[in-house]
Amino acid sequence: MLQVISVLLENKPGALMRVTGLLTARGYNIESLTVARTLDPDLSRMSIVVDVEERLRSQVIKQMNKLVNVLQATDLTDCPAVCREMTLLRVRAPLEKRATIIKEAEIFGARVVDSSVDGFVIEATGDSEKLDEFLDVMQSYGDIDVTRSGAIAVSLELRKLRLQPPIHLAASLAETEEEETNGVLNG
Amino acid sequence: MSNLMNGARILLECLAREGVDCFFGYPGGVTLPFYDALYDHSIKHVLVRHEENACFAASGYARATGKVGVCCATSGPGATNLVTGLVDSLMDSIPVVAITGQVTSKLIGSDAFQEADTFGITRSCTKHNYMVKTVAELPQIIHEAFYLAASGRPGPVLVDIPKDIFQAQGHYTPVDQIHLRGYRVTTDGHTGQIRRAAQMIWEAERPIVYAGGGIIAANAEAELKDFVERADVPAVCTLMGLGGLGSGHPNFISMPGMHGSYAANMALSGCDLLIALGVRFDDRVTGRLAAFAPHARVIHVDIDPAEISKNRQADIPIVGDAKRVLQKLNRVVAELEPQMRAKSAPGRRAWWKQIREWKDQHPYDSPRSDSEIKPQHLMAEIDRLSGGEAIVATDVGQHQMWAAQLVRFNHPRLWINSGGLGAMGFGLPAAIGAQFARPDKLVFAIVGDGGFQMSIPELGTIASNGLPIKIVVMNNGYLGMVRQWQELFYNNRLSSVQLDCFPDAEKLAGAYGFRGSTVENPRELAGALEAMVREPGPYLLNVRVTPFENVYPMVPAGGAINEMVLSAPVAAAQ
Ligand SMILES: Cc1ncc(C[n+]2csc(CCOP(=O)(O)OP(=O)(O)O)c2C)c(N)n1
Ligand SMILES: [Mg+2]
């Protein structure tokens, strides 16, 4: 089933590959992936939608949290979260259909962002199912060209982020705080 | 300022600061500046004969000591030759730092001579890897690499260093702090969970400890011994955990799994509480997972949270370092002892009786013959000479399993082998690493005739360093383990498993300037081994053994571990 994962990671060379490599090494197919810098320019936030067997979902999260560059990997699949996707599409719009297309787009909250004699470029956002419907409708006006962003997701709950404090090389392993865990750290 | 030096020199300063006294490697074009700096530095570099063996030797060094093992290779082919060694260390959680040279920064991506994408290739072969971009960040990265390799669940870390970084001048100031925000290690174990575990342990009638490499990695042998004694629990040690509880300890049953003992596998199958300590429920131990310890509740202690409930759901998960968790657990077990011991005693007595019966019913096979040397006979003789105290590095195959069954280990870090990856060619170079780490120790390399022929070049390293390694080739003339499977599961159609040419051991060793011999008469075996051990230098002993002996017990792949084949059907013997 599709799992939605949010990953906070260091913005370092190779970090993205470590996360995706973990999924591909296990043969999982990535449905979508988005990544961009956070307010802290040293960090990036990734949203991943991936097809993972139900019972392996927590294993995937644990493995991601083990990656040195990953600060926090969270499974948002069954959590209160908002998921959004954006699409840009080009639709051919002969004169007689233009008004209907615009009206239809309005129903979905989409906007025309460019118009030419050939047609429109339309921008729409929403959850993925809504976008699917919108694209279905647009297809009924003829061939369309579609680019989708992939889902981005945000948890509605504030999650505690535990980070490793600096380590003094002379001292041995830092003491760690106590926590009840089934192995999912920072999940 | 006197602290201005080139990157190569800075690297050496960092290695020295990490306490590296020797490391294993092979030079090349892009590491020339590094080897130049090494020329007048006190750290010893051991020139091996193949980079894969540099990594295996570093691993052997680390396994014998617990310290980080270090290896070094040049760019391109040097780096790609490290790959098998890195994966071996990754699978067995061995702390290794690998340094590779890379082509000059401005050539990266141009398909330059001896360029390979080492950073990309080794991403999935390491716990973490780095490519150095500036000389300024070099010290930080090196110390991070050592910290990552040794802490938490240990593993290999690779640092790829372009040639110009070795050459660039930088001001070296020792780093005293590193910051890895996303790298969290939980070591202590949750007090509440540990308390629940102690209670469950006393309440159990048929508890068993299933101890693995995590005990060795955590140096938790004293705590494990305390635990099994106080809580009155029998223990099995996995292939990676042998020596974690001394083989002679009364609570030690033996090794479980595919070629484990009858008693160990029956005890795991019959237990009502499985106390899993630093293990990962590997398929070679569990057999068919659904039938593994089917009546047991599970306490699982591991420093890697991802191991817990990966293969088997844990009833009490405890994330932590085995040593620290056992220290805490032992305190609670002791606290509960006065009120619990008497109550648990009758159940335990019955359990111990049952285990002793299993042990007596089917001890490991040890056939002897007057005409041929049986492999088991060879292992029993080595065991006698070792007395549980020698370091024994093996290769991979039948000889490895017989050694695991029949050679005893009084301490951890004596038994050295490639468990998870099962990489042939491991034994001899790992013994080299171990002998450098422990010059005081008698080191045996027990290798098959197949695996030995993958590592013959390292006889050069042994000879030139005068390493007194005792190399025992268990020569059955076959890739024995594969032949065994072909015999048992492929109608004995022996396909490409015969090794019909083996070099004369006396001449081969002689060609390298040390002694060797061949023995095939069982009556001469003990004498030959004794002479080998008396030899002050290296020795190569080629032991011709029964070719068609199979390792038993054996759990066929996919079988439940209590469904062992205990010995060869009489008619099938060739
Ligand atoms: C690098 C590598 N290649 C192939 C194998 C598969 N393999 C496992 S055991 C074995 C036979 C080993 O033969 P030998 O070294 O003679 O040891 P024996 O089993 O006869 O004791 C082989 C080929 C392996 N484990 N590692
Ligand atoms: Mg052989």
For residue A178, the model assigns a pLDDT of 54
CB contact under 8 A, B184 and A164: yes
**E-strand stretches of B66-135:** 69-73, 96-102, 128-131
- Beta-carbon neighbour count of residue B536 at 10 Å? 7
Model confidence at B115: pLDDT above 90: yes
Model confidence at B565: pLDDT above 60: yes
Cα(B192)–Cα(B564) distance, integer angstroms: 39
Residues of chain B with Cβ-Cβ distance to A184 below 8 Å are: 305
pLDDT in tens, B366-423: 899 999 999 999 999 999 999 999 999 999 999 999 999 999 999 999 999 999 999 9
How far away, in angstroms, is B115 Cα from ligand 2 center?
37
Q: Based on the domain organization, do A11 and A73 belong to the same domain?
A: yes
Closest of B304, B146, B110, B315 to residue B218, by C-alpha: B304
For residue A182, the model assigns a pLDDT of 54
* Catalytic residue check, B489: no
Among the ranges given (B51-55, B222-226, B553-557, B566-570), the one the predictor scored with the smallest mean pLDDT: B566-570
For residue B212, the model assigns a pLDDT of 98
ipTM: 0.92
Beta pairing class for B128-131 and B156-162:
parallel
Using pLDDT thresholds of 50, 70 and 90, give the confidence band for residue A172.
very low
Q: Which residue lies with its CA nearest to atom 4 of ligand 1?
A: B424
Q: Based on the domain organization, do A103 and A49 belong to the same domain?
A: no
| Ligand 1 pocket mutation pick from B52, B239, B424, B501 by most atoms within 8 angstroms of CB | B424
Domain boundary at A50, A78, A106, which? Answer: A78
Q: Does B137 touch chain A (CB under 8 A)?
A: no
For residue A176, the model assigns a pLDDT of 44
Contact B213, A41 (CB under 8 A): no
Q: What is the DSSP letter of A28?
A: P
Q: Which tokens sit at A56?
A: 């392996």
Question: Residue A186 domain-assigned?
Answer: no
pLDDT in tens, B308-327: 999 999 999 999 999 999 99
Q: Based on the domain organization, do A71 and A93 belong to the same domain?
A: no
Closest of B460, B335, B548 to residue B26, by C-alpha: B460
Cα(B488)–Cα(B537) distance, integer angstroms: 41
Q: The tokens 């174990």 sit on which residue?
A: B189
Buried b (16+ CB within 10 A) or exposed e, B180-196: bbbbbbbbbbbeebbbb
Model confidence at B128: pLDDT above 50: yes
| Ligand 1 pocket mutation pick from B83, B379, B396 by most atoms within 8 angstroms of CB | B396
Q: Based on the domain organization, do A89 and A73 belong to the same domain?
A: no
Q: Based on the domain organization, do A74 and A108 belong to the same domain?
A: no
Model confidence at A80: pLDDT above 90: yes
Distance to chain B for A41, nearest Cα, Å: 15
Using pLDDT thresholds of 50, 70 and 90, give the confidence band for residue B574.
very low
Using pLDDT thresholds of 50, 70 and 90, give the confidence band for residue B573.
very low
Question: Residue A138 domain-assigned?
Answer: yes
Mean pLDDT calculated for residue range A64-73: 97
Q: Coil, strand or helix: which one is A67?
A: coil
Q: How far is CA B318 from CA B193, B429, B448, in A?
A: 7, 36, 39
- Give the residue on B whose Cα is nearest the Cα of A179: B190
Question: Residue A182 domain-assigned?
Answer: no
How far away, in angstroms, is B451 Cα from ligand 1 center?
6
Q: The tokens 């699978």 sit on which residue?
A: B91
Question: Residue A170 domain-assigned?
Answer: no
Residue A126 Rama label (left phi>0; alpha psi -120 to 50; beta): left
The H or E element containing residue B505 is helix B505-512
- Give the residue on A whose Cα is nearest the Cα of B305: A183
Ligand nearest the Cα of residue B453 is 1
* Catalytic residue check, B113: yes
Question: Residue A175 domain-assigned?
Answer: no
Q: The tokens 């019959």 sit on which residue?
A: B270
Distance to chain A for B120, nearest Cα, Å: 8
- The radius of gyration computed from the CA coordinates of chain A, to the nearest angstrom, equals 21
Q: Based on the domain organization, do A92 and A42 belong to the same domain?
A: no
Question: Residue A49 domain-assigned?
Answer: yes
Cα(B107)–Cα(B120) distance, integer angstroms: 16
CB contact under 8 A, B131 and A14: yes
Residues of chain B with Cβ-Cβ distance to A178 below 8 Å are: 188, 190-191
- CA-B479 nearest atom, ligand 1: 13
Closest of B179, B171, B98 to residue B135, by C-alpha: B171
Q: Which tokens sit at A182?
A: 């089934």
Q: What is the DSSP letter of B106?
A: G
The residue annotated as part of the active site, out of B51, B52, B115, B549, is B51
Residues of chain A with Cβ-Cβ distance to B186 below 8 Å are: 176, 179, 181, 185
| Ligand 1 pocket mutation pick from B428, B452, B454, B481 by most atoms within 8 angstroms of CB | B481
Q: How far is CA B493 from CA B313, B484, B486, B490, B548, in A?
A: 40, 10, 6, 6, 13
Distance to chain A for B193, nearest Cα, Å: 8
Using pLDDT thresholds of 50, 70 and 90, give the confidence band for residue A181.
low
For residue B330, the model assigns a pLDDT of 98
CB contact under 8 A, A185 and B319: yes
Q: Based on the domain organization, do A60 and A16 belong to the same domain?
A: yes
Model confidence at A184: pLDDT above 80: no
Question: Residue A159 domain-assigned?
Answer: no
Mean pLDDT calculated for residue range B493-501: 97
For residue B119, the model assigns a pLDDT of 98
Contact A73, A47 (CB under 8 A): no
Among the ranges given (A150-164, B217-231, B433-447), the one the predictor scored with the smallest mean pLDDT: A150-164
Q: What is the Cα A89 distance to its own chain's centre?
A: 20
Q: Based on the domain organization, do A65 and A125 belong to the same domain?
A: no
Cα(B249)–Cα(B215) distance, integer angstroms: 16
Q: Does B453 touch chain A (CB under 8 A)?
A: no
Model confidence at B218: pLDDT above 90: yes
Cα(A48)–Cα(A33) distance, integer angstroms: 5
CB contact under 8 A, B181 and A163: yes
Where residue A72 sits, what CATH number does that domain have? Answer: 3.30.70.260
Contact B447, B427 (CB under 8 A): yes
For residue B229, the model assigns a pLDDT of 98
Buried b (16+ CB within 10 A) or exposed e, A26-48: eebeeebbbbeeeeeeebbbbbb
For residue A159, the model assigns a pLDDT of 84
Contact B162, B30 (CB under 8 A): yes
Contact B158, B98 (CB under 8 A): yes
Q: Based on the domain organization, do A15 and A56 belong to the same domain?
A: yes
How far away, in angstroms, is A4 Cα from ligand 2 center?
50
- Give the residue on B whose Cα is nearest the Cα of A9: B182
Residues of chain A with Cβ-Cβ distance to B128 below 8 Å are: 68
The residue annotated as part of the active site, out of B44, B106, B113, B169, is B113
Cα(B322)–Cα(B300) distance, integer angstroms: 10
Q: Which residue lies with its CA nearest to atom 5 of ligand 1?
A: B424
Contacts of residue B311, defined as CB under 8 A and 6 or more positions apart, other chains included, come to B280, B281, B286, B289
Best mutation target among B281, B319, B328 (most A Cβ atoms within 10 Å) is: B319
Number of domains in chain A: 2
Range of the domain at A102: 82-148
pTM (predicted TM-score): 0.96
Q: What is the DSSP letter of B249?
A: S
For residue B506, the model assigns a pLDDT of 98
pLDDT in tens, B164-216: 999 999 999 999 999 999 999 999 999 999 999 999 999 999 999 999 999 99
- Name residues 175-194 of chain B within 8 A of A (Cβ): 175-188, 190-193
What is chain B's length?
574
Residue type, A184: V
Judge if the upstream peptide bond of residue B412 is cis by omega within 30 degrees of 0.
Answer: no
Q: Does B315 touch chain A (CB under 8 A)?
A: no
Mean pLDDT calculated for residue range B455-482: 98
How far away, in angstroms, is B552 Cα from ligand 2 center?
16
Q: Based on the domain organization, do A68 and A108 belong to the same domain?
A: no
Using pLDDT thresholds of 50, 70 and 90, give the confidence band for residue B572.
very low
* Catalytic residue check, B564: no
* Catalytic residue check, B114: yes
Q: Does A182 touch chain B (CB under 8 A)?
A: yes
Using pLDDT thresholds of 50, 70 and 90, give the confidence band for residue B259.
very high
Domain boundary at A78, A103, A133, which? Answer: A78
Among the ranges given (A89-103, B122-136, B310-324, B461-475), the one the predictor scored with the smallest mean pLDDT: A89-103
Domain boundary at A60, A78, A96, which? Answer: A78
Q: Based on the domain organization, do A72 and A95 belong to the same domain?
A: no
Cα(B425)–Cα(B430) distance, integer angstroms: 9
Helical residues (DSSP H) of B132-256, grouped into ranges: 138-150, 163-167, 191-203, 213-217, 221-231
* Catalytic residue check, B339: no
Closest of B467, B492, B475 to residue B398, by C-alpha: B475
Model confidence at B349: pLDDT above 60: yes
Dihedral angle of Cα B488, B491, B496, B500, to the nearest 10 degrees:
80
Residues of chain B with Cβ-Cβ distance to A183 below 8 Å are: 305-309, 317, 319
Cα(A36)–Cα(A43) distance, integer angstroms: 9
Contacts of residue B206, defined as CB under 8 A and 6 or more positions apart, other chains included, come to B270, B271, B272, B273, B347, B351, B354
Among the ranges given (A138-142, B15-19, B142-146, B240-244), the one the predictor scored with the smallest mean pLDDT: A138-142
CB contact under 8 A, A68 and B182: yes
Contacts of residue A70, defined as CB under 8 A and 6 or more positions apart, other chains included, come to A7, A8, A9, A10, A15, A18, A19, A64, B182
Q: Based on the domain organization, do A74 and A94 belong to the same domain?
A: no
- Residue A173 is nearest to which of B180, B185, B319, comparing CB atoms? B185
Q: The tokens 């030797």 sit on which residue?
A: B57
For residue A186, the model assigns a pLDDT of 57
Residues of chain B with Cβ-Cβ distance to A179 below 8 Å are: 186, 190
Percent residues over pLDDT 70 in chain B: 99
Where residue A123 sits, what CATH number does that domain have? Answer: 3.30.70.1150
How far away, in angstroms, is B395 Cα from ligand 2 center?
10
Question: Residue A120 domain-assigned?
Answer: yes
